[in-house]
Structure 1
Amino acid sequence: MVVQLFIRSLSLSHQTASCGESSSADKSRRLAIALGTSFGAVLLLILAVVFLIWWRIRKNKQIFFDVNDQYDPEICLGHLRRFTFKELRAATDNFHVKNILGKGGFGIVYKGLLTDGTVVAVKKLKDDNNFGGEVQFQTEVETISLAVHRNLLRLWGFCSTENERILVYPFMANGSVASKLRDQIHGKPVLDWSRRKNIALGTARGLLYLHEQSDPKIIHRDVKAANILLDEDFEAVVGDFGLAKLLDHCDSHVTTAVRGTVGHIAPEYLSTGQSSDKTDVFGFGILLLELITGQKALDFGKTAANQKGVMLDWVKKLHQDGKLNLMVDKSLKNNFDRVELEEMVQVALLCTQFSPSNRPKMSEVLRMLEGEGLVERWEASQNIETPKCRAQESFPKRYADYIEETSLVFEAMELSGPR
């Protein structure tokens, strides 16, 4: 059409010139009108094409993350719901302070009640966390949502707007292991020895899935009692397992900030800022000691004999002296299995060896907790972690020395669900 208009204008100009019926000024005016009309039409056509492309791209992005049965189930996430900000604001009573379940490095967790009566935990991520663009955030959320295991906190949905990033999880009725270690009913601990052993097993299964069965592999980087949640049956559920990846997707290959909690962070992560699945194994070992002692990993009880309050160093000394009974949570009142205690302490010490290459994988940890291969692994470890070998490899003798020597910045991460 544009070409026809252009040819027609040229033809009219030619005819006019041939006939000699118009002046020279008339010819120039008509030619200018013809050319202007042609170029205007071309410009409008280009703008229309650009607008069409932009609209199609935006529509495709929206379709990809809208959960709707009319779209390909291979593309959309049928189990993941996209909430509106209005829905979550209403569910949490405008994110009222009375509904706060916990606060952490990533944001604040609120208790929410959906319109269908479902109780949820709503994690409103901090504004200062750089999560990149909306589409990239949604892609990361999709990856996290694919990790489904009974011992992992399942992501139910999310909300992503220009200014807000919110994650929605099921509500964990019994809060976190950290909170329950301090609770008692009628003078008895809520977490007896049997429950503590089951928590250890459940957590190990969840981490095993993340490390060896999930695709892609996910490293938690802050395994501790505060990040292990408990459902109504006191089943262990690992929380916050995807947020480290979500937060760091735009980081460079050089990590300048260690994300975790001092007292739970592996020595090599403290020294270099580089994490691996073995850093989670170290954190799991500290978690076992939390379950055994009922105390915090750092500054848990400074005394003349334990001035730095580092639980790992304290436990190692008691184990070396054969005084395991002194490390057991006093609230248990000797109601624990002494054979299981010895085994759990040995697994914890294997997991917290300073060299990551000496630590077992989570699949091996789980087998040892279930009573398989611990004796052989423990005997082999005694030939590795001798003072002579430790001196040769320049390992400090105490975990407290690593904490004192590190110059990296710590950014604490907290649970995704209620405490």
Structure 2
Amino acid sequence: MSFLFLVLLLGCLCSFVLPDAQGDALYALKLSLNASSNQLTDWNVNQVNPCTWSRVNCDQSNNVIQVSLALMGLTGTLTPRIGVLKNLTALSLQGNAITGNIPKELGNLTNLGRLDLENNRLTGQIPSSLGNLIKLQFLTLSQNNLNGTIPESLGNLPSLINVMLDSNDLSGEIPEQLFKVTKYNFSGNKLNCGVNYPHPCASSNTDQGSPHKVKVGLIVGIIMGLIVILFLVGLLYFWCKNKHKGYKREIFVDVAGEVDRRIPFGQLKRFAWRELQIATDNFSEKNVLGQGGFGKVYKGVLADNTKVAVKRLTDYESPGGDAAFQREVEMISVAVHRNLLRLIGFCTTPTERLLVYPFMQNLSVAYRLRELKPGEPVLDWPTRKRVALGTARGLEYLHEHCNPKIIHRDVKAANVLLDEDFEAVVGDFGLAKLVDVRKTNVTTQVRGTMGHIAPEYLSTGKSSERTDVFGYGIMLLELVTGQRAIDFSRLEEEDDVLLLDHVKKLEREKRLDAIVDRNLNKNYNIQEVEMMIQVALLCTQATPEDRPLMSEVVRMLEGEGLAERWEEWQHVEVNRRQEYERLQRRFDWGEDSVYNQDAIELSGGR
């Protein structure tokens, strides 16, 4: 009898000890991730059982099996104590700003089926202990700063069907077995895949799960579709019923400073006009952060002291454009990448369209290059290199990973912002279509900034991803020189108003040091300067088809394929100059020639 009592007592103790150890581990995770005072408030160290906590799921035995902390803006690091959660099947921490290494203790979570750490700021190597996760099916470590090689142990994971390691700084050999996984992506690294290798860097298979999961997804989709149809029928009935009572409900319109919060819209916040009016001090000129082809940007402070940037779109005239505006805003909101500015909300009235973004405390690259206040630090060369690569990765994502692809149309240093770590964040993307949806008789409208507009866009009004590549090339020249794309003050010393022509001339004369921003005080690597100038000139070729794709630009900045492409470009340039000189001798033209006229004509109508 006493033996039976002892067994029961031990069982009871175990039932208390297990949740307590799990709770301690989760609370340690909360602390290490620097959760704010209004986040995870129910994660209380004094509560023994964490199964009652938000974002935590448990099984019937009170074992923690799922933890989801995605898109919470968490910083800090991952605590090794997370390895205590031996029954965990899913860990989702994507879309935060987590730094530090991936703890090797994650290899203790042998029941883990899904690990998602995408779009953070993790550094260091991928721990080989992840090879212990024999039940792991989905491994997503994309868009971090991970380096080193991919552990061989990952190739031995028996259950793996989806591995995403793209947009890191990995190098070396990819374990051969990983190419047999149903879906993989290793692009944006320095690995043995892609051009000149037997395997592509990304699989073409879009199936993300097993047939069973596909069937479940199909069933869920059908059910959700029926729910949506029923909701729409009810909404139509409600509208018809109230139509005769003089009640008119404008969906997606903020009237008289109020907002209809019954209409859901994903994760975006719908702001009232009055709320943003107060935040920006009635859109005071003293709060203007900048102005571009799509309108002014104002600094604002919300009621909870959150700093925001409010983009007030110009030229929005159509009263029937709400549906199109909604589609475009939704498209912008789902473009999530560490090098893209995240849209957090919007506001609409019958005459206004406003977008709300997080405020970037280090402002823009243009500000850091040319508008610094006394005592503020100059952008050093390593930071400029990082900005160049980060911007390229952001544009690559818009062009090649968004469906439909997004064309920026106004790539320039003023539209590349800098976060608290001076990482590049591309802003203003998707705005061209937002503004142009009101035009019913024009396919597109030329929008952009003088000196950054590609010649074919200026002459035809038609843009493509190669239009953005041209603007990116000019932005690279801004990074190297610190100068504006057009500067009439150069007329005092030379004929080149356009920065592109100025750099081309100095590059031909091999005067690279004369190109570099004097504020760097010669603290730069001349070989890296030469590489960046070469990439910029390849991006700004007159013919769109001759320009590289942004994915190719990323690879060239990472040191792959630039030499061959540059040699080919130089050969074409030499032939072109020889033809020009032949014509010059034949017709005895002077300095004001067709060769120089090209640049003048392209800049004349901007």
Q: TM-score, normalised by structure 2?
A: 0.53
SS at match of 1:261: coil
Question: What CA deviation, in whole Å up to 9, does each residue of 1:49-78 have, x standing for no partner?
Answer: 9933969x9879569x9777xx9xxxx543
- Where 2:572 maps in the other structure, the secondary structure is coil
Corresponding residue number in structure 2 for 1:404: 601
- 2:408 alignment partner, SS class: coil
Gaps of 5+ in 2: 1-236, 254-258, 584-593
CA deviation string 1:22-55 (max 9, x = no partner) = xxxxxxxxxxxxxxxxxxxxxxxxxx99933969
Q: Which amino acid aligns with 1:397?
A: Y
Question: 1:231 — aligned with what?
Answer: 419
Q: Which residue of 2 aligns with 1:41?
A: none
CA distance in 1, matches of 2:292, 2:335: 22
Aligned to 2:369: 181
Which of 507, 512, 515 is 1:319 aligned to? Answer: 507
Correspondence for 1:344 among 532, 549, 552:
532
Q: Give the deviation of 1:353 after TM superposition.
A: 1.0
Moved more, 132-141 or 201-210: 132-141
Confirm or deny: 8 A CA contact 1:155 1:167 kept in the other structure. Answer: yes
Counterpart of 2:198 in structure 1 is none
* Aligned position for 1:167: 355
Q: Which residue of 1 aligns with 2:446?
A: 258
Cα distance in 2 for partners of 1:342, 1:49 equals 66
Q: Distance in 2 between matches of 1:316 and 1:150?
A: 33
Per the alignment, in what secondary structure is the counterpart of residue 346 of structure 2? strand
CA contact (8 A) 2:486 2:497 kept: yes
Match in the other structure for 1:25: none
Structure 2 match to 1:280: 468
Q: Secondary structure at the match of 1:397?
A: helix
Take 2:326 and 2:386, find their aligned partners in 1: how far apart are those partners? 34
2: CA distance between counterparts of 1:187 and 1:133?
47
Mapping 1:15-164, distance limit 5 Å = 51-52=240-241, 61=251, 77-126=265-314, 132-164=320-352
Q: For residue 489 of structure 2, give the secondary structure of its aligned residue in structure 1.
A: coil
Between structure 1 and structure 2, the one with the greater Rg is: 1
Amino acid at match of 2:466: K
SS class of match (2:355): strand
Q: Tell me if the contact between 2:316 and 2:352 (Cα under 8 Å) persists in the aligned partners.
A: no
Task: Show the 5 A alignment for 1:350-365.
Answer: 350-365=538-553
Aligned residue for 1:241? 429
* 1:339-396 C-alpha deviation (Å, 9 max, x unpaired): 101110110111111111111100000110011111111122223334349969x9x6
- Which residue identity does 1:264 align to in structure 2? H
The question of 1:375 aligning with 2:573 is answered no
Between 1:139-148 and 1:151-160, the stretch displaced more is 139-148
Helix, strand or coil: the match of 1:240?
Answer: coil
Partner SS for 1:200: helix
Contact 1:288 1:344 in 2 (8 A): yes
Structure 2: how far apart are the matches of 1:377 and 1:279? 19
Name the structure 2 match of 1:209.
397
Once the 2 structures are TM-superposed, how far is the Cα of residue 268 of structure 1 from its aligned partner?
A: 1.5
Q: 1:405 to 1:286 in 2, by over 3 A?
A: closer
Ranges in structure 1 where 5+ consecutive residues have no aligned partner: 1-47, 411-419
Larger helix fraction of residues: 1
SS state of the match for residue 121, structure 1? strand
- Aligned equivalents of 2:336, 2:261: Cα separation in 1: 18
**In 2, distance between residues paired with 1:343 and 1:332?**
17
The 1-side partners of 2:313 and 2:442 are apart by 24
SS in structure 1 of the partner of residue 449 of structure 2: coil
What one-letter code is carried by the residue in structure 2 that aligns with 1:97?
Answer: E
Structure 1 position 269, deviation (Å): 1.6
8 A contact 1:219–1:241 mirrored in 2: yes
Alignment partner of 1:297 is 2:470 = no
Change (3 A) 1:390 1:203: farther
Q: What letter corresponds to residue 601 of structure 2 in structure 1?
A: E
Q: Structure 2 vs 1, CA of residues 50 and 176 (structure 1 numbering), >3 Å: closer, same or farther?
A: closer
What SS is found at the alignment partner of 1:169?
strand
Shift in Å at residue 216 of structure 1?
Answer: 1.1
SS at match of 2:490: coil
Post-superposition shift, 1:266? 1.2
Aligned residues: 352
Question: In the alignment, residue 516 of structure 2 is paired with which amino acid?
Answer: V
Residues 218, 242 of structure 1: 8 Å contact kept: yes
Do the aligned partners of residues 382 and 89 (structure 1) sit closer, same or farther apart at CA in structure 2, a change above 3 Å counting?
Answer: same
Change (3 A) 1:99 1:89: same
1:217-272 CA-to-partner distances (Å, cap 9, x unmatched) read 11111111111111111111111111111112244675685211121111212222
Superposed CA deviations along residues 323-349 of structure 1, whole A, max 9, x for unmatched, are: 111111111111101110111011011
Match of 1:150, SS state, is coil
2:30 maps to what in 1? Answer: none
Amino acid in the other structure paired with 1:247 = V
